[in-house]
Amino acid sequence: MTIENSYLTAPFDNAVSAILIGIDRDVEKGQDVLTLGLGLVMLSSTFAPIAPPTVLLPIVAVIFACSAGYARINYHRMEQKLSASMAALDFHDMVKLKAIANVFKQYPMPSLIDSLNPAKNLVRTWKSVLGGILINPFWMPIFYMMGIQIKEEANLGILAQVIIEVEHKLYPVLNKD
């Protein structure tokens, strides 16, 4: 499978529409992965009668880590593809997509290395420790990864909302149902 470096792939009639369709598809993919991870975590309780918590709870944390990690990589890839696509546009088309580009500037996502470092995320670490003390120490990594997952969902939700607003501004006749 090849990784595209831009949302502008031939053939396309309208560059702005091609970019909007591409980034909307990538946002949906990120949201689907996060939902899949959450669904798998919800299903993990069905294995509770046969798997001890010392096995099941770390698996739940790994599932959160995989889904949030993929969503973070997808978010960074969207940012790179958008900037590469906007470089090929003229000024008039760039203005139309400025709101989407501003989301990536206003809500920057650090690298996975920084997000997974407890020393750089003291609030998330403290909440995880507190949850582990109140419930079970094995829940600490789950709470930590859940915090990353929630942050991913929030950023993808904001990005999806801005994409919808841009689509409504560009195509008001098509959106009047």
Domain ranges of the chain: 16-170
Residue-wise pLDDT for 41-94, tens only, equals 888 888 888 888 888 888 888 998 999 999 999 999 999 999 988 888 888 888
The tens digit of pLDDT for each residue in 110-168 reads: 888 888 888 888 998 999 999 889 988 888 888 888 888 998 999 999 999 999 999 98
Token couple for 104: 């990536």
pLDDT single digits (tens) 148-161: 899 899 999 999 99
Cα-atom radius of gyration of the chain, to the nearest Å?
19
